[in-house]
Structure 1
Amino acid sequence: MVIVRPHQAPSGESLLYLIPQSVHAALSGDLASHWGQSGFLPLVHPEVVWPAIFHHDDGWIATDNAPPVDPETKRPLSFLNTPTAEAHSIWTKSIQGAARISPFAQYLIAEHFMMLREHSHSADSEAGQLFLSKYEELCETWRDRWEERHPACDDQDVQLAIRQLRFFDWFSLWLCLAERTESHTFDETPQELSLTVIPQEDGIFVTDPWPWTVDEVHVAVGGWLVPDRNYDDTEDVLSELTDWRRLSWRFVPK
């Protein structure tokens, strides 16, 4: 449970919406489904790239099931504040788990996490450098294995696949992290075409241009509503996981 979203009840009570990181990743896979219109290319090798997007955060499942408490805030620990060493351990589980999909899935997920580390404050730390050097070497091996089987997959395709995974990851996080009430334009999309979403009532987003091949897209996540209070430990958080709620969104063309 590592996406922590503030929520205010109709009564005025402050709550936290805890969305499992693995559920967010599944949402990113749902958003990637039926993609590829209005200048946006379909997923590269979807038999690999789609499950890689869907499962790129599977390493978080154990943490989702036993959310730790941030020692400073006394709230469930957000993925944004997860210590570097713990993040590396979780990312490694995601990368290792992707072996059941393909070496290319391992490559894409590892590249994604390497980029996250490279753009973080801990990129130059000893732990950061060890993580990056380890996976730079492994990524070369995984990509070589993939290209031996799929020689037609050139560097342009590979780079597009990485951009697709990263875009849908961010699209999903953007939905999960807060209630969206203002128009937003995604400028860093896989084709570097702008995509604007305009919130309406009841979770509807008018979307321009229309990037999916279906008439509308309906997606959802589930999470727990818990009191916004100090927590002693994981057991204290688990004792409050009694109110499971669903968030849903519907995207429609302009």
Structure 2
Amino acid sequence: MICREQDGYLIMMRQHEHGLLAGKFAERFKEQHVPAEGRRAEVLRAISHHDRGWIDLDETPFWNDAEGAPYTFIDFPLVPKLTFYRRGLDEIEADTPYGALLCSSHYERLIEISGEDCPELTAYLKHEEDRRARIHRHLENSKPLAEGELYYDARLLQFCDDLSLYLGLSEPGSPKSEEHPWFRDGFSGSEDFSFTSGRQIMAEWQDESTLLLDPFPFTGNVEVAFKLRRVPRKDAESKGIARAYSSTPEEECRITVAGRSK
């Protein structure tokens, strides 16, 4: 679950909803799939479904007593999280082995950033290392990877994931001073795209429905809609988070992502 608090409400967005949003951004990315256009459909499916392991977990949110807030993808207990990571990757691999290779590498980077460690994590990392080796062998026998292909696709997944997270973690129209600390210096890794000339892509709200990006990464303005729930904190505390969440109707948030005017 992606969660932030605003004016007495817990704004909650499902991880898979966030993944589908990332896939919409990937569809409109300005650079062509480089260098193997034939895998584009697999890359788009993988980006859209990279967080599908969270689908069942997000059906019923859990309360983190230590933080006084719902558990999120950031602080959810590691061992069950790894179980659902693996389940999601299994489902992706059944659909697109290359997509599973891409997503497995993505999760490994996230785990390295977290700095967590335990025997279950060691077993998970070994399992995923074996998965990636198996997929590499499969691809070598069918459609070998071109030079730089996996690196480029990993950057695309990372950027679309981050931009989607930005929308989930931001109050539309909020000033730059209230931006989530992860993104204050821009989207990490976006400087690797050729059109940025080594600059990180920066985001800033123009108003409550328009987010500006510079340098602009898409073929044109991108209009997106995604679902979230605004759960009153008082309901979560009085009823419990699971009941409060299930009784709160979903609402649709519509945002236009545009380039900064010159």
**Shared topology, TM-score over 0.5?**
yes
1:216, CA displacement in angstroms?
1.1
User: Contact between 2:203 and 2:213, CA under 8 Å: does it hold in 1?
Assistant: yes
Using the TM superposition, give the Cα deviation of residue 42 of structure 1 relative to its aligned residue in structure 2, in angstroms. 3.6
Output one character per residue of 1:37-61: Cα deviation in whole Å (capped at 9) or x when no partner: xxx4546621111100000111111
Specify the alignment match of 1:51 in structure 2: 45
Give the corresponding residue for 1:116.
110
Give the CA deviation at 1:238. Answer: 4.2
Q: Is the 8 A contact 1:69 1:231 kept in 2?
A: no
Between the aligned partners of 1:245 and 1:7, the Cα distance in structure 2 is 15
Distance 2:95 2:20 in 1: 15
2:162 equivalent to 1:162? no
What is the CA distance between 1:208 and its match in structure 2? 2.4
1:235 is displaced (CA, Å) by 4.2
Matched, 1:175 2:170: no
Any idea what the Cα deviations from partners look like across 1:202-249, whole Å, max 9, x if unmatched? 321233223212x3111121111111142665643345x323222222
Task: Tell me the percent identity.
Answer: 23
Aligned positions of 1:77-226 closer than 5 A: 77-122=71-116, 124-151=117-144, 153-179=145-171, 180-182=174-176, 185-189=186-190, 190-191=192-193, 193-213=199-219, 215-226=220-231
Deviation at 1:75?
3.0
Structure 1 unmatched runs, 5+: 9-13
Question: Is residue 245 of structure 2 the alignment partner of residue 245 of structure 1?
Answer: no
Cα 1:74–1:196 shift into 2, 3 Å: closer
Structure 1 equivalent of residue 5 of structure 2: 6
The 2-side partners of 1:111 and 1:17 are apart by 29
In the aligned structure 2, how far is the partner of 1:87 from the partner of 1:114? 13
Relative distance call for 1:83 and 1:132 in structure 2 (3 A) is same
> Which residue is 1:11 aligned to?
none
Q: Secondary structure at the match of 1:223?
A: strand
Q: Which moved more, 1:170-179 or 1:183-192?
A: 183-192
TM-score for both structures, normalised by structure 2: 0.83
Structure with bigger helix share is 2
Please provide the CA RMSD for this pair: 2.2
Number of aligned residue pairs: 241
Unaligned runs of 5+ in 2: none
**2:159–2:187 Cα contact (<8 Å) kept:** no
Q: Which range moved further: 137-146 or 82-91?
A: 137-146
Structure 1 Cα separation of the partners of residues 241 and 204 of structure 2: 38
